[in-house]
Amino acid sequence: MKNLIKICSSFMIIALLVSCDEDFDKDFLEAPAKSTLDESIIFSTVDLAKGAVDGILEPVGQTNSYRGRFIPYYGFNTDVEYNYSSDPSGGADADLVYYDAKPNNSRMNSENNAWAMMYQGIERANIVIRGLRTYGKPEPDTEFGQLLGAALTYRAIYYADLMKAWGDVPARFEPITTETIYLGKTSRDTIYKRLIKDLGEAATLVAWPNESASTTTVERINKAFVKGFRARLAMVASGYQQYPDGVRRSNDPELSVERMYQLALDECRDVISSGKASLEPTFEGFWKKYNQENINAGGESLWEIPFSDGRGRVLFSFAVRHRSSDQFTAQARGGTAGPTPTVFYDYDEEDTRREVTCVPYQWGTAVEGVAQQELVGLDTWYFGKYRYEWMNRFVTSTNDDGVNLIYMRYAEILLTAAEAANELEGPAAAAPYLKEVRRRAFPADQQAEKVDAYVNARSSKDAMFKAIVDEYKYEYTGEMDRKMDLIRWNLLGDSLDKEKEKLANLENRTGEYADVPATLYYKYKEDGYTLDIYGLNRGETSNPGPEYSAFNWDQPLDEIINTIYKPGVDPDNKQFWPIWQVFIDASNGKLINDYGY
């Protein structure tokens, strides 16, 4: 189903239900003209209903939707991720990532932007949900039940992302009528409660991974993902976030920490005990499978936004930088963002996630079609989780790479279980989940110290919580979930300020970074293009030999320090983007911006 999210010419189903599933299109051309069909036919016919459900996700692939606006810009900047658009001179891109977005932002202020595309997807979902409930007889263990569960989940995804980026937003859970064209904002507390209820229903309708023909790939909705997603929303809904009256937890007793953490823990334990998902044996192996576009369900990836080969810009935006067409790709891109310079040195040196996540080189300009890796400096790092060189196909010179975006993976199930268990039952209950995540990260001969002793030493609730916060960093840097987590932990502003201090210490080689070398040494391996680097680890200061060349590793970090958030801005007062002016102007006076915009 790599064809699901693409821009294609298609007929219309009830005005908005555009299907881009190739198999559906082929079959449908042999059916009666679409203009003659009504909801009773569409939603009582499995194949037609499948096409309508697939059409819910079509807006994701639109140019100014997730593909080119939401994914490349949302989630920056944090204590672990930095977007290189954070130019000190400002501009539309910089404003989006360093907490100073304006309603008239030129990158976003258009009527076909992500906000509009999300609501287009919601409207399609509303029509599908109404149709399936009315005509499809959706029940557990039926095809119509699977379809309704998927539609409910897709709608929840759109709403979750809307609230993540904009806070309170209009709530539409029925198709638009003349009376509901213009709506004001609804409290996100109300929306979260509805989504949690909807996902509870969806979990009863959809199958576990590989338990039906509909759940054999991570591009389709399955029970493990729905339960994990429900747990995520419970943690977010009960967490800290900016309301119009300040940063706080919800005042709604139904969204209390006790209720929501218990719900999250129960859902995660269901997934864990099911045995239907698991961590891949190695961290590097998982990310290689991802870049190779292995979409088989039942492993670590629980659900991915499915892009076709000609849509999607995940590697285009975030991969290790390629400066020209070379032996791995004709798409000379990647590198618009990367780990903050401190992250590599915050990892334990034995942690196998470090070299996978943090890459200190780019691929230079190719000579006769072959590029070499080149060191780029302490101030420039790339996300090693995304690599053209790990793909099984050669990406052509377009703006799209077609690689899916991982929306949730099994490690989050374990870390959410650890966090919720720690809060409700204490650190001993959290320890097994945290150990499972760390066990994969360290070689077998290191696990007694780095896994068992490390976790067992976190014997208080506060110490265990801090360890879980750190583990999210080691596990998830480069996946742009950190901002949401820092907000719900009420750590956003404090973490960014601490990161500025850490960057200054790294630049000056003081404090916790006093033993970071100022010179690297490198040579090329036998293949002629892969770097062999000495001096990245703390304390590696001696020259390893005449066959190595020296490289200055002492670049200033002032620009990052000054642009991780805009000077004079309080990130805790700018947790959200403003609603773009074009939508304010078109709202008939119903929409306003809060939070000082």
Q: What is the pLDDT of residues 36-94, one digit of tens each?
A: 468 999 999 999 999 999 999 999 999 899 999 999 999 999 999 999 999 999 999 99
Dihedral of CA 242/193/160/172: which sign? negative
Instruction: Supply the pLDDT for residue 9.
Output: 28
Q: How far apart are the C-alpha atoms of 201 and 213, rounded to whole Å?
A: 20
pLDDT digits (tens, 9 = 90+) for 495-538: 999 999 999 999 999 999 999 999 999 999 999 999 999 999 99
Bridge partners, 370 (sequence order): 367
The rounded percent of the chain whose pLDDT value lies above 90 is 91
Residue 394 neighbours by CB distance under 10 Å: 12
For residue 20, the model assigns a pLDDT of 36
Q: What tokens were used for 593?
A: 């911006």
Q: In the predicted model, is pLDDT for residue 1 greater than 90?
A: no
Q: Under 8 Å CB-to-CB from 210, ≥6 apart: which residues?
A: 216, 276, 297, 298
Mean pLDDT of 308-313: 87
pLDDT tier, 28 (very low <50, low <70, confident <90, very high otherwise):
very low
pLDDT at 473 over 80: yes
What is the average pLDDT score of the chain?
A: 93
Burial 315-336 (b: 16+ CB within 10 A, else e): bbbbbbbbbebbebbebbbbbb
The pTM assigned to this predicted structure is 0.94
Which ranges constitute the DSSP H helices of 275-313? 283-291
Q: Does the CA dihedral 436-293-147-18 come out positive or negative? A: positive
Range scoring the smallest mean pLDDT among 25-34, 271-280, 485-494: 25-34
Distance set, CA 174 to CA 126, 127, 179, 200, 388 (Å): 5, 7, 12, 19, 42
The residues with which 312 forms a beta bridge, in sequence order, are none
Stretch 227-234: mean pLDDT = 99
DSSP 73: H
Counting every residue written for the chain, the total comes to 597
Rounded Cα distance between 220 and 210, Å, is 10
- Residue 6 in this model has a pLDDT that exceeds 90: no
Q: What is the mean pLDDT of residues 123-138?
A: 97
| Three-state secondary structure call for residue 542 | coil
Backbone angles phi, psi at 592, to 5 degrees: -135, 165
Compute the distance between CA of residue 595 and CA of residue 577 in angstroms, rounded to an integer: 10
Q: What is the DSSP letter of 395?
A: B
The DSSP call for residue 182 is: S
User: 314: buried, middle or exposed (CB in 10 Å: 19+, 13-18, 0-12)?
Assistant: buried
Exposed, middle or buried by CB within 10 Å (0-12, 13-18, 19+), for 568?
exposed
Q: How many CA atoms lie within 13 A of 335 on its CB side?
A: 18
pLDDT for the residue 397: 82
pLDDT in tens, 153-173: 999 999 999 999 999 999 999
Residue 404 C-beta-side C-alpha neighbours within 13 Å: 26
What CA–CA distance (Å, rounded) separates 411 from 481? 13
Segment 219-244 shows an average pLDDT of 98
User: What was the pLDDT predicted at 37?
Assistant: 64
Q: What is the pLDDT of residues 338-389, one digit of tens each?
A: 999 999 999 999 999 999 999 999 999 999 999 999 999 999 999 999 999 9
pLDDT at 128 over 80: yes
Reduced to 3 states (helix: H, G, I; strand: E, B; else coil), residue 278 is coil
- The packing angle between helices 223-238 and 188-205, to 10°, is 160
Residue 121: CB partners within 8 Å, gap ≥ 6? 56, 57, 58, 59, 60, 154, 155, 158
**Among all chains, which residue has been given the structure tokens 């639109």?**
62
Is a pLDDT exceeding 80 seen at residue 106?
Answer: yes
How high is the pLDDT of residue 596? 86
In whole angstroms, give the CA distance from residue 142 to residue 150. Answer: 12
User: Is the pLDDT reported for residue 26 higher than 50?
Assistant: no
Give Cα 309 to chain centroid, integer Å: 19
Number of Cβ atoms within 10 Å of the Cβ of 543: 11
Q: Long-range CB contacts (< 8 A, 24+ apart) of 479-486?
A: 479/385, 479/406, 480/71, 480/74, 480/75, 480/76, 480/81, 481/75, 481/412, 482/75, 482/78, 482/79, 482/80, 482/81, 483/74, 483/75, 483/76, 483/78, 484/75, 484/164, 484/236, 486/78, 486/79
Q: Do 301 and 218 form a contact (C-beta atoms < 8 A)?
A: yes
pLDDT above 60: residue 447 = yes
Closest CA to 278 of 454, 439, 464: 439
Tokens of 108: 């976003």
pLDDT at 22 over 90: no
Tell me, what's the pLDDT at 597?
Answer: 87
pLDDT band, very low/low/confident/very high, at 310 (cuts 50, 70, 90): confident
Q: Write down the pLDDT at residue 595.
A: 87
Distance of CA 354 to the CA centre of its chain: 19
Could you give the CA distance from residue 434 to residue 414 in angstroms, rounded to a whole number? 7
User: What pairs with residue 367 in β-bridges?
Assistant: 370
- Please report the pLDDT score of residue 4 as a whole number: 45
Distance CA 486, CA 286 (A): 25
Q: What are phi and psi of 595, to 5 degrees?
A: 60, 25
